[in-house]
Structure formats: structure tokens, C-alpha cells
Amino acid sequence: MFENIKKEFTTRTLVLIPIAIAINIAIGELVVRLKLPVYLDSIGTVLVGAIAGPWAGALTGGLANLIWGLFNPFAAPFFYVAAAIGLMAGFAGKRGAFQNETPRWVSVVVGAVFVFSLTLFILAFINASTDETGYTSYPSMSQLFSQYLGIFIFAILAGAAIGYFLLQKGGYAGMWGLITGIVAAIISAPTAAYVFGGVTGSGTDLLVAAFRASGGGILASVLAQGSVSDPFDKMLSFMVVWLIIRSLPARFTSR
């Protein structure tokens, strides 16, 4: 295991990492200029994971946040989240998620399953009730299905459409991105809630406010916010890296 980790850190990898972090920063800037409602600030991190492996990806993510923390300290405490993103990208790369094409029907299934689960999660969250003793009870699945059948059908169709038109042949990469986003949302929520009072100082705070208004606790609202915005953001990042890897000359990916 230790030998494997060492093997990832060739001079090429060490040279690639600063370039990747600079790419994170530069694309983050482009996204702001284009006023897009996403971050896409981990494309470089995902790229290193995909090209060099999970541990190199993890180091890239961690250092990226610590370095950015020199300018805006908000990023620094989340270094472990960025590291996890690079790690996940590396595992995805080892399984060929960035090299292979996915049949389009798989992309359709990935999109449908994801949007369906997300809808289920949010509806369960909004309909949860807390009694006087502080015990939170969630509605049963059958209850939700009968109440929101139309919404669920719409979610599955919308998800399928996202899968077909957006993921296209990169369904596998997109799926890894979605999973990575969920992991990122879960592990970042405690730090966001405890250290920063649940806010990020950006547009996604409106979501936190919405979940708070519907009765969620701070940690739960942050988690819910992350579950809505992170998977989509990471899905797009993984998709972009999938596109990049496929446009690379063979000598880059053949080692």
C-alpha cells in the first residue's frame, strides 16, 4: 500500500499539482465572470485524481484549500473535504470512469435515480416533525409517495432527461461526481455548522435559510443545502474532466 502511494508521486505528478491548483483558481474566476450558479473550483483536483491516482488527488485538494486559505481563511478548515474529493476522483479514475464511454441508457438511469433520491430526501426533510421532547419523526415512504406522486414522477422524468442530454456518454463519470458530491456534503456539514454557523457567505445560503424556515435544525439544514448543491457541482466537474481526458493526446494517458 505504502509503495503504491509512493508510486503516484512521480516528478510529473508533483509538477502537475501546482498547475492543477492554479487551474482550480483560474476556472473559479471564469465561473464568477460568467455569473454561473456553480463553483467548479475543483476541476484541477479531480484531474490530478484521474491522471495520477487517489493519493495525489487528495494531496492536491488538501493543499489547494490551505493555499487558498492564505487569501480567504474560509477555505482552510475544509481542506479535508477537498482532499476527499481528490481521493474519490482517484478511485473513479482507477475504475476507468474517465476513460470509458457509458451507454446512454446507463446515464438515463443514473440521472433518474439521483434526482428521485434527492427529491425523496428533501420531501422527507420538509415533512419531518419534531415533538416537545425533541424527538424527530420522519414520514413513511408510502405516505410520501401517495402525497407527492406527481412530484416523484416528474423527478424521475427530469432525472432521466438530465442523464440523457447532460451526462450523455459520460454517465459513469457523472455518477462518481454525484457520489463524491454527497460525500462532500456529509463531511463538510459539521465544520460548516459548527465553525461558520452554517453559512458560506454565498448564494447557497438562501437554501440554508429555506430549510431553516421549513423547521430544520442548523446541522440538518446545512446538510440538506449541501446535498442539493454539491452533487450537481461535482457531477459537472467530473464531466468536464471526462471531456478533458478524452481530448488529451495518447502520450498523456498511456502511462
DSSP notation for 131-175: -TTS-EEPPPHHHHHHHSHHHHHHHHHHHHHIIIIIIGGGHHHHH
Instruction: Give Cα separations from 247 to 15, 104, 196, 252 (angstroms).
Output: 20, 20, 40, 10
Q: Cell digits for 55?
A: 493519493
Q: How far is the CB of 74 from another protein (least distance, A)?
A: 7
Nearer to another protein, 15 or 149 (CB): 15
35: Cβ contacts below 8 Å, ≥ 6 apart: none
Smallest CA-to-CA distance from 152 within 113, 182, 185, 126 is with 113
The C-alpha cell at 180 is: 463524491
Residue 151 C-beta: closest distance to another protein, Å: 23
* Grid cell digits, residue 128: 419531518
Distance CA 196, CA 209 (A): 14
State in angstroms the smallest separation of the CB of 150 from another protein.
26
The distance of closest approach from Cβ of residue 176 to another protein in the complex, given in angstroms and rounded to an integer, is 19
The nearest distance, CB 112 to another protein, in angstroms, is: 22
Which SS3 state, helix, strand or coil, does residue 129 take?
A: strand
Nearer to another protein, 66 or 109 (CB): 66
- Kindly write down the DSSP assignment for every residue of 188-223, as one continuous string: HHHHHHHHHTT--SSTTHHHHHHHHHTT--HHHHHH
CA 251 to chain centre: 29
- What's the min distance (Å) between Cβ of 145 and another protein? 27
The burial class, CB within 10 Å (0-12 / 13-18 / 19+), for 201 is exposed
- Nearest approach, Cβ of 152 to another protein (angstroms)? 26
Binding site for another protein (CB under 8 A): 9-12, 14-19, 21-23, 25-27, 29-31, 33-37, 40, 43, 47, 59, 63-64, 66-67, 69-74, 76-77, 194-202, 205, 208-209, 212-213, 215, 218, 240, 243-244, 247-252, 254-255
